């Protein structure tokens, strides 16, 4: 069953309310970062990282880094996933303490796929150049 589409009026109201909420939080001293650099490799939106220890170890996708006015910091993310990207039981939004990050994935799956495609295209172009050179000679 498909969810009902949200009306333009309700969407505009939601955006306005969220903007007001965020402005109030920022005025109180909350800090929201789109990346986190103290885990080895930089965590950016959508990049996966491994969380150790209980309650829910596994791979998570980074959403944002938050610091409250008292100085407590955490990572907001979505997960856990298995290494191959399949949702584990209980997959959903999570707020993880920064000291639970075990490691950061080298590249996101989309980045890996783009790199592989670029290498394939480069090899194909190289083969075509070599073929043209042998035919011209």
| Co-location of 45 and 111 in the same domain | no
| Co-location of 66 and 114 in the same domain | no
Measuring CA to CA, which residue among 4, 1, 74, 71 is closest to residue 36? Answer: 74
| Co-location of 66 and 92 in the same domain | yes
User: With the C-alpha atoms ordered 116, 119, 123, 125, is the resulting torsion angle positive or negative?
Assistant: positive
User: With the C-alpha atoms ordered 84, 86, 87, 89, is the resulting torsion angle positive or negative?
Assistant: negative
* pLDDT single digits (tens) 33-74: 998 888 777 888 888 899 988 788 889 999 999 999 999 999
Residue 108 pLDDT grade (very low, low, confident, very high; cuts 50, 70, 90): low
Degrees to nearest 5, angle at CA 63 with 82 and 26? 155
| Residue 30 Cα to chain centre, angstroms | 21
Q: d(Cα 117, Cα 109) in Å, to the nearest integer?
A: 12
In a domain, 3, yes or no: no
Name 37's Cβ contacts closer than 8 Å, sequence gap at least 6: 43
Name 54's Cβ contacts closer than 8 Å, sequence gap at least 6: none
| Co-location of 92 and 35 in the same domain | yes
pLDDT of residue 129: 87
| Co-location of 72 and 47 in the same domain | yes
């Amino acid at each position: 069953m498909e969810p009902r589409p949200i009306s333009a009026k309700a969407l505009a109201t939601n955006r306005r309310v969220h903007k007001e909420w965020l402005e109030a939080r920022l005025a109180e001293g909350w800090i929201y970062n789109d990346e986190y650099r103290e885990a080895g490799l930089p965590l950016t939106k959508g990049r996966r990282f491994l969380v150790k220890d209980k309650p829910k170890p596994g791979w998570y996708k980074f959403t944002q880094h938050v610091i409250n006015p008292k100085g407590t910091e955490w990572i907001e993310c979505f997960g856990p996933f298995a290494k191959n990207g399949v949702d584990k039981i209980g997959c959903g939004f999570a707020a993880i303490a920064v000291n639970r990050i075990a490691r950061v994935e080298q590249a996101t799956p989309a980045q890996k796929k783009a790199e592989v495609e670029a290498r394939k295209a480069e090899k194909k172009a190289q083969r075509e150049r070599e073929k043209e050179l042998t035919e011209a000679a």
